[in-house]
Amino acid sequence: MNPETILFSLKQKTKPSWKTVSVSIFVCGLLAHAYTFFNYIPNWDSISSYYSDQNTIQLGRCFLTLACGISSYYDLSWVNGFLSLCYLTVTAILISELLQIRQKSTLVLLSALLVTFPAVTSTFGFLYTADGYMLSMLCMTLAIYLTLKHRLGFLPGALLIMFGFGCYQAYITFAAMLVIVYSLDELLHRETPLSALVWKWLRALACAVLGYMLYAVVNRILLSVQHVTLADYQGVSALDSGLSGSFAPLLAAKQCLIDFAYFFIGPLHRMNAYSVFNLCMLALLVCGALARIVRRKLWRSPARLGCILLFSLLIPFVCYAIYFLTPGVSYHMLMQGGLYFVYVLLLVFYDRAGKNEASCEPEGVRPASSKQTHSAHHEEAHTRHGIVWQWLCVLVCSLIICNFILVANICYRTQETSAARSMNEIARLADTIAADPDLQKCESIAVIGTREGSDTISLNLPPDMTGFSDGYLMTHALHYSLLLERYHGFSFTPMNDEMTKAFAENEIIRSMPCYPEDGYIRAVSGTLVIKFSDKP
């Protein structure tokens, strides 16, 4: 087959639903993220990742260098953004195929919610590595798709879990939540026997366990080859070695519930439109679930109803499952992608409602002929209520998407201001160095203390958006060194934290004034010293 024939064949096999998903991802994705795709808006991590191989094996991300290598190791905003949208498109298609979503409105909402979701926006705050993270999400989704769709799909699925886990471990909760939503859909809307579902759950478990075991073996080998040890950051070392000694399941469960509620509502004293829309969404979700249970009279099937309740109760704990492995972890927004499926669950109920309602009815529950009239009135009332509920679902989800888009643009606008303020600060420092021959002769740079506002790593709008700051980007000497060299041609070796603490005890430095008083910048023993506070 020649290239033209292959292209024509692919076009013939492309489903209309795939086109709908693609258009929705790119249109809503650009509405939300074009600001950062078409600009270079660094944060504190981006400064040192202008060119980076992303070999963060010390964080357990042994395959991230491969995932990010596709777009080169440069921080290329548009290239990384475009690849991310492509990965998100395939992810949304896989989700829609697995859940058998066919209504065009549902496809649009499902795709738009994915690409504008706060966890995705936070990931784009670290755009230099976003394409690698989105590829991890895609691998996790494809693993579950193959596992649940094909009897032996858990074998290639395990390889995908291994690779995805080795890019970003937190997306394992994304995969687990997809299994839960799929299971609830099967339990509530289809006649799939429980025995068949149990086999699928066992395959999913086998996929996850085998994938993690493969990852653990490969990661240990690569750590040994590169002579690297795992860092304590976010409990990565605990994930590699198993449950930590301080394992406390009740405390972990409590934190899961707190964080779950906090994501949707935020601080009670700062509730805003985001909080209100989420509360409406959760109310519609509960109403939809109860209506489905009542309509299908699922109390007649205790085992099925028990599974529904179990999976529903598991949602908060699955979304924050890492708390059970390493209680010291801090769940920032990038790690909360699994919560996207709470919205997907509502969309699944919406998609199954309406004209497809009758096809989901179990056998044996149709009304007797003597009650035809009463049943007709009952069905008519049910239809009216269902239509109102469907319109509310579309309205609330649309408002949520619009809010997500606004949140993304506010984050990028704030981060751009922060970056501009920081660059102006570096420019003033460069002017000071250029005017002082003694400063130009320095070989190293030490920063005593931190500039006020440089320790902020998130904007709590709410939601709490990690990756964005309204303060300064520079947090330590390395940042100053990199920015001075990259934009102004001054080369200084950054002093590490331990050396800085010892150096700060120097009597000359102790007597130096702090910013913004004159003399807070000085050459001391061949080191350019910038002093913001008396404490290093």
DSSP structure string for 104-117: HHHHHHHHHHHHH-
* Angstrom distance (rounded) from CA 455 to CA 43: 12
Residue 115 within a domain = yes
Q: Which residues of 141-172 are buried (b: 16+ CB within 10 A; e: fewer)?
A: bbbbbbbbeeeebbeebbbbbbbbbbbbbbbb
CA angle 456–265–459, rounded 5-degree value: 15
* Angstrom distance (rounded) from CA 20 to CA 14: 11
Nearest to 132 by CA among 78, 58, 230, 63: 63
Count other C-beta atoms under 10 Å from residue 226's C-beta. Answer: 11
Give just the sign of the alpha carbon dihedral 390, 23, 65, 118: negative
Q: Within this chain, do residues 466 and 383 fall inside the same structural domain, yes or no? A: no
Two tokens, residue 390? 């469907």
Q: Within this chain, do residues 382 and 468 fall inside the same structural domain, yes or no? A: no
Q: Within this chain, do residues 432 and 402 fall inside the same structural domain, yes or no? A: no
Q: Within this chain, do residues 405 and 499 fall inside the same structural domain, yes or no? A: no
- Quick one: pLDDT at residue 242? 54
- Give residue for tokens 């989105």: 134
* Angstrom distance (rounded) from CA 348 to CA 109: 11
Residue 367 within a domain = no
Between the CA of residue 159 and those of 46, 57, 479, what are the distances in Å?
A: 30, 18, 38
Residue 64 within a domain = yes
pLDDT in tens, the chain (536 residues): 788 888 888 888 889 999 999 999 999 999 999 999 999 999 999 999 999 999 989 888 999 999 999 999 999 999 999 999 999 999 999 999 999 998 999 999 999 999 999 999 999 999 999 999 999 999 999 999 999 999 999 999 999 999 999 999 999 999 999 999 999 999 999 988 999 999 999 999 999 999 999 999 999 999 999 988 887 766 665 555 555 445 678 888 999 999 999 999 998 888 999 999 999 999 999 999 999 999 889 999 999 999 999 999 999 999 999 888 876 788 899 999 999 999 999 999 999 985 454 444 444 444 445 556 556 655 666 678 889 999 999 999 999 999 999 999 999 999 999 999 999 999 999 999 999 999 999 999 999 988 776 667 788 899 999 999 888 999 889 999 999 999 999 999 999 888 888 888 888 888 999 988 888 999 998 999 999 987 77
Q: Within this chain, do residues 389 and 428 fall inside the same structural domain, yes or no? A: no
Nearest to 157 by CA among 202, 100, 220, 101: 202
- Quick one: pLDDT at residue 379? 63
Q: Within this chain, do residues 199 and 251 fall inside the same structural domain, yes or no? A: yes
The number of distinct structural domains making up the chain is 2
Q: Across the strands, what pairs with 513?
A: none
Q: Within this chain, do residues 390 and 334 fall inside the same structural domain, yes or no? A: yes
Residue 260 within a domain = yes
Largest CA distance in the chain: 101
* Angstrom distance (rounded) from CA 231 to CA 259: 25
Are the beta carbons of 484 and 492 closer than 8 angstroms? Answer: yes
Residue 369 within a domain = no
Q: Within this chain, do residues 405 and 422 fall inside the same structural domain, yes or no? A: no
Q: Within this chain, do residues 382 and 444 fall inside the same structural domain, yes or no? A: no
- Quick one: pLDDT at residue 366? 47
Residue 536 within a domain = no
Q: Within this chain, do residues 432 and 403 fall inside the same structural domain, yes or no? A: no
Alpha helices in 190-301 (DSSP H): 194-226, 236-241, 249-265, 273-295
Give just the sign of the alpha carbon dihedral 235, 236, 239, 240: negative
Between the CA of residue 295 and those of 197, 291, 292, 348, 386, what are the distances in Å?
A: 22, 6, 5, 16, 12
Q: Domain range for residue 512?
A: 416-531
* Angstrom distance (rounded) from CA 155 to CA 143: 9
Determine the distance from the C-alpha atom of residue 393 to the mean position of all C-alpha atoms in its chain, rounded to a whole number: 24
Residue 57 within a domain = yes
pTM of the model: 0.92
Two tokens, residue 186? 């099967």
* Angstrom distance (rounded) from CA 331 to CA 409: 23
Two tokens, residue 69? 């290598």
Residue 6 within a domain = no
Q: Across the strands, what pairs with 302?
A: none
Phi first, then psi, for residue 521 (nearest 5°) are -115, 130
3-state secondary structure of 494: strand
Residues 6 or more apart whose Cβ sits within 8 Å of residue 289 = 188, 308, 312, 349
* Angstrom distance (rounded) from CA 512 to CA 519: 7
Two tokens, residue 269? 């004293």
Are the beta carbons of 468 and 125 closer than 8 angstroms? Answer: yes
Q: Within this chain, do residues 382 and 472 fall inside the same structural domain, yes or no? A: no
Are the beta carbons of 336 and 458 closer than 8 angstroms? Answer: no
Q: Within this chain, do residues 384 and 441 fall inside the same structural domain, yes or no? A: no
